Amino acid sequence: MALHQYILCKDPTIESGLFVTNHLVNMYCKCGHITYAQHLFDQMPQRNIVSWTALISGYAQSGQVRECFSLFSSLFAHFRPNEFAFASLLAACEQHGVKCGRQVHAVALKISMDANLYVANALITMYSKCSGCNVGFDHRTDEAWTVFKSMEFRNLISWNSMIAGFQCHGLGDQAICLFTQMYRNGIGFDRATLLIVFSSLSESSSVGKKNRHLWGCFQLHCLTIKSGLDSELEVTTALMKSYANVGGSTSDCYDLFIESSNQDIVLWTAIITVFAERDPGQALLLFYQMLRENFIPDWHSLSIALKACAACVTEQNAMAVHSQVIKRGNALQTLSLGEKELFKCVSTTMDQKGVDHILGAEHVSWVRRRNLQVLETLIIVGRQNLYISHISPAALCKHEV
């Protein structure tokens, strides 16, 4: 807004220029000020397709689906929509449902825009997200796959979108196979491709497939090194998680961690998570090392530390994690019930005053009453991503009064 004011002060007539006003509308949309963008759009003496597309994109990005569709309908009275208007509208359909997406697809077919690469990529993404994740797949009826197969020309985004669609449906093997086909066809890959494939490997690593997927993880590791993408933190973190999920050794994961030149809290949390599953003592040592190197733990890393404490409850470890939670202030109240219960499990060696201070006296008696029933309750109320469903019964027995 300050820039807009400066422009008006220098030349009050410049706002009537189409080129500058389009940029202002786009700027306000990108900054989230859709009301200002709409006001500028309404005041424009003339508009072109860029003006309309910028505002449609702004409404789509702000999640105002109804306004987005209304503006798109009005556009037809003035201009033929371009591929960017269609892509923005299809992105809005991801929040509104597949029925609206099909209507936009029909309009694209009528004016022969469905063959446009940009529109086809948006259709694949929309159908993949709107059809719901983990709902199965039928290659004869799946709409995203139908669009992908009908494309005369595909770019990297097309392949990434379809691989992500398989991964979204829980079809890790199909995602990996499509990536293999893509690579054999000589099509390059990028960071986004690797992140999707690593996620697919992790999700499809059932017991009978772990050896095959571990070998696939080795091959992908080679590809990341050859492409130079191993220097990117997100890729290293995803690769580490894949090694852990497909049965790779902790030493392989630790080597990846050590070789990373730029470590952040996400990478630290990933390596602590790997060891929390197999060597809780080492996980706690890594957590303390992270603190010594002046990384500030977030609630996810604290959750992993709590999980490690649950497997080897000692007063020293429990108090160390306790102190970190206190440093975070009262934000523990924002955690879920499941994490609160886990914190009580690892805090049994603390005195009553310390536990009351963190959890509130009304929660403390819960531990005294339930004993081994804690395990069942934690599984019910805990979310999988809070890492609380693997507390051993032996650890819970320590709550016996």
As a whole number of angstroms, the distance between CA 384 and CA 386 comes to: 5
Q: How does pLDDT run across 215-243, given as a tens digit for each residue?
A: 888 999 999 999 999 888 899 999 999 98
Same domain? 185 vs 81:
no
Out of 262, 280, 297, a domain closes at 262
Same domain? 214 vs 272:
no
Same domain? 237 vs 175:
yes
Same domain? 280 vs 350:
yes
Q: Which residues of 62-80 are buried (b: 16+ CB within 10 A; e: fewer)?
A: bebbebbbebbeebeeeee
Taking each helix axis from N to C end, the angle separating 265-278 and 250-259, rounded to the nearest 10 degrees, works out to 160
Residue 244: inside a domain: yes
- Residue 320: domain span: 263-401
- CATH number (domain holding residue 26): 1.25.40
Q: How does pLDDT run across 38-95, given as a tens digit for each residue?
A: 999 998 888 999 999 999 999 998 888 889 999 999 998 899 999 999 999 999 888 7
Residue 208: inside a domain: yes
Same domain? 107 vs 194:
no
As a whole number of angstroms, the distance between CA 16 and CA 344 comes to: 65
Residue 401: inside a domain: yes
Residue 158: inside a domain: no
Residue 392 has pLDDT above 60, yes or no: no
The residue length of the chain stands at 401
Look at 152-161, 301-310, 320-329 and tell me which has the smallest mean pLDDT. 320-329
Residue 328: inside a domain: yes
Out of 119, 153, 187, a domain closes at 153
Out of 262, 286, 313, a domain closes at 262
CB 381 within 8 A of CB 388: no
pLDDT band at 309 (very low <50, low <70, confident <90, very high): confident
DSSP assignments along 102-121, one per residue:
HHHHHHHHHTT-TTSHHHHH
As a whole number of angstroms, the distance between CA 187 and CA 162 comes to: 14
Residue 156 has pLDDT above 60, yes or no: yes
Output the 3-class SS for 345-390.
Answer: HCCCCCCHHHHHHHHCHHHHHHHHHHCCHHHHHHHHHCCHHHCCCC
Same domain? 97 vs 217:
no
pLDDT band at 315 (very low <50, low <70, confident <90, very high): low
Same domain? 235 vs 312:
no
As a whole number of angstroms, the distance between CA 114 and CA 375 comes to: 53
The fraction of the chain above a pLDDT of 70, given in percent, is 69
Residue 327: inside a domain: yes
Same domain? 51 vs 187:
no
Residue 179: inside a domain: yes
The total domain count for the chain is: 3
How confident is the model at residue 391, as a pLDDT? 40
Residue 354: inside a domain: yes
Reference 332, options 366, 288, 299; nearest CA is: 299
